[in-house]
A and B are shown apart, each in its own frame.
Chain A
Amino acid sequence: MKEMSMFFQRIEHMGWYPVFLREMLLFRRKLLKLGYLFSAMVVPIIYLIAFGFGLGKSVQLKGVGYLSFLIPGLVAMSSMNNSYTWVSSALNLNRLYFKTFQVLVQSPIPAFSIMIGEVMAGMVKGLFASSLIILVGFAVSPDFTIHPLFLSALLLNCFMFASLGVITGMLTKSHEDTATYSNFFIMPMAFFSGTFFPVDRTPPLIKAIIFMMPLTHTNILIRKLSLDHQALISLGMMTAYAVLFFIYGLRLIRKYNE
């Protein structure tokens, strides 16, 4: 008992924990409102029905059924959307309108702790939404399985896009700007980076652009069963993006100045 209490005290003294806990308490309240569950699930389910059950019935990709191809892509897309959007819009609103971000930067915890707390909270939200799609995947596709590379890709994807969410949340000058970033970067990435179709047959120039998109590498890694050459490249690219986004987000918090 004493060890447990000391363990929790130690966690508390790590500055990231209250930042994370605050987000979780707010998230818990949102979960109790059914609108959240509906909004987290509705887009991937629409895609699943439209592409999976509509188009997918007559399509075979690399010898596997289209649903088996689509569901990991929807998991990647959903984890990206939720990790990114929750962090970017919450930070933007908290910084510009509710001013609750100022409570964090005026407290005696380092910028690194704020960054870790926000990113971890974003990851939890991304993982929660993905887990709903995974459950649907198990229900509708008998071939759908989860393996270590799937989980690694999912975790890294949440980390990467939650960190990107911090960058957008810190840079945007109004809440409308957040939607602009989403429409110009996140939405095209959801469609063109291998969520719905394999990208290897696209023209070379487009292929090169697609290769630079972070979600492309999540889509490659999440469908791999073994760590082959291509998987290693994607893992490297994802790690590089994750580190880059994290460091830049951290720098923006550290340099915060009104």
Chain B
Amino acid sequence: MVNDEYMIELRDVTKHYGKIRAVDNLSLSVRRGEVFGLLGPNGAGKTTTIKLLTTLSRPDTGTCRIAGMDVHQNPLEIRKIIGVVPQENNLDRELTARENLLIYGMLHHVRNRNEKISETLKMVGLWDRQNTVVSGFSGGMQRRLLIARALLPAPSVLFLDEPSIGLDPQIRRQMWDVVRKTGIDGRTVIITTHYIEEAEALCDRVCILAKGRLIALDTPDQLKRSVGDHIVEYVDAEGKLIQHICKSREDAHDIARQENNSVTVRKSNLEDVFIKLTGGRIE
């Protein structure tokens, strides 16, 4: 049955690589038009989940649906409505930026291709470098071209796998602007990241994964609220970092006042949520 509210639905999905269980009985739903984050450390199952949803991998058990269609029963139909920005740069480095988009546009049957290629190149600020061979691009430019390529056929769902990995902070923020604009256009966007800041800045809802399992799923604010709004931190006499999670700012200041050590009071973030739920760190 097609559920109009949800664009993506995973039900009891498990995927093994040899003896390693990369995704473990994962079920989640992504609403139409939301920017949805998969947050977790390396090996959490984020990229495998993207591969399962983008037809590159088949699950051992469970079902993946996009727009009501079973991903693995209708791969060609699914590929018509998705765009993928992979973690590894898979542009043709010996071709120019325009040639890369031309081939991709032909593969995806894009109409009015030349105009759309020009528009997309302008959108990501690469219009003046369109005839440059990609191997001559910086990492940031290549990442922008990857996003441009994925957006060229105007997909309904955009998958971004660790989009800002290896980018310097300034370029990362430029990339965020592109993603925000993509979300505003009404697309459903799935982002995997292990950057807390990125998940908080971009995502409407965040799913925290660890060892292939869903640990928590909610809006960033709600997730933080669930563990406590504020954190009191200090280093004790033995040099150990001590953290107190507090429900309110007042509670945090009460604790801070009682401590003789130098303390820091800060707002909680998704890393704190992850630590509380799993005992480990994301980054």
Contacts and interface: CB of A to CB of B under 8 A. Distances in A.
Interface string A229-257: 00000000000000000000000000011
A102 B161 CA distance: 14
Contact of A98 (B56, B90, B103, B108): B90
A187 to B, nearest CB: 28
Contact of A26 (B84, B91, B95): B95
A109 interface: yes
B51 A107 contact: no
Contacts of A17: 106
Contact of A106 (B79, B99, B109): B79
User: Can you list the 9 inter-chain pairs with the closest CB atoms, starting with the nearest?
Assistant: A18-B106, A99-B90, A107-B107, A108-B79, A108-B80, A22-B103, A258-B57, A18-B107, A258-B56
A9 B4 CA distance: 35
Given A13-B109, A257-B56, 10 more contacts: A17-B106, A18-B106, A18-B107, A29-B94, A99-B88, A100-B91, A103-B90, A109-B76, A256-B56, A258-B57
B106 A21 contact: yes
Contacts of A198: none
Interface of A: 12-13, 15, 17-19, 21-22, 25-26, 29, 98-100, 102-110, 256-258
A257 B58 contact: yes
A98 B86 CA distance: 12
Contacts of A21: 103, 106
Interface in B41-87: 51, 54-58, 76-77, 79-80, 82, 84, 86
B194 to A, nearest CB: 20
B176 interface: no
Nearest to A26: B94
Contacts, number: 66
A21 B80 CA distance: 21
A174 B194 CA distance: 29
A23 to B, nearest CB: 10
Nearest to B72: A257
Tell me what chain B mostly uses at the interface: helix, strand, loop, or mixed.
loop
B243 to A, nearest CB: 39
B92 interface: yes
Given A102-B56, A258-B57, A110 B106 contact: no
B127 interface: no
B104 interface: yes
B80 A22 contact: no
Q: What band does the interface of chain B fall in when counting residues whose beta carbon is under 8 Å from A?
A: 20 to 34
Given A108-B76, A258-B56, A99 B94 contact: no
A106 B88 CA distance: 15
A22 B79 contact: no
B106 to A, nearest CB: 4
B79 A107 contact: yes
14 contacts: A15-B107, A18-B103, A21-B103, A22-B92, A29-B94, A98-B90, A99-B88, A100-B92, A102-B56, A107-B104, A108-B107, A109-B107, A257-B56, A258-B57
Contacts of B93: 98
Given A108-B76, A258-B56, A258-B57, A102 B103 contact: no
A26 to B, nearest CB: 6
Contacts of B77: 108
A98 B88 CA distance: 8
Contacts of A99: 86, 88, 90
Contacts of B79: 106-108
B92 A26 contact: yes
Given A18-B103, A25-B99, A102-B86, A257 B57 contact: yes
Nearest to B81: A108
A5 B96 CA distance: 24
Nearest to A18: B106
A186 to B, nearest CB: 25
A110 B107 CA distance: 10
Contacts of A15: 107
B92 A105 contact: no
**Which of B51, B54, B104, B107 neighbours the largest number of chain A CB atoms within 10 Å of its CB?**
B107
A102 to B, nearest CB: 6
Contacts of A100: 90-92
B101 to A, nearest CB: 12
Nearest to B83: A106
B56 A106 contact: yes
B111 to A, nearest CB: 10
B107 A104 contact: yes
A245 B81 CA distance: 33
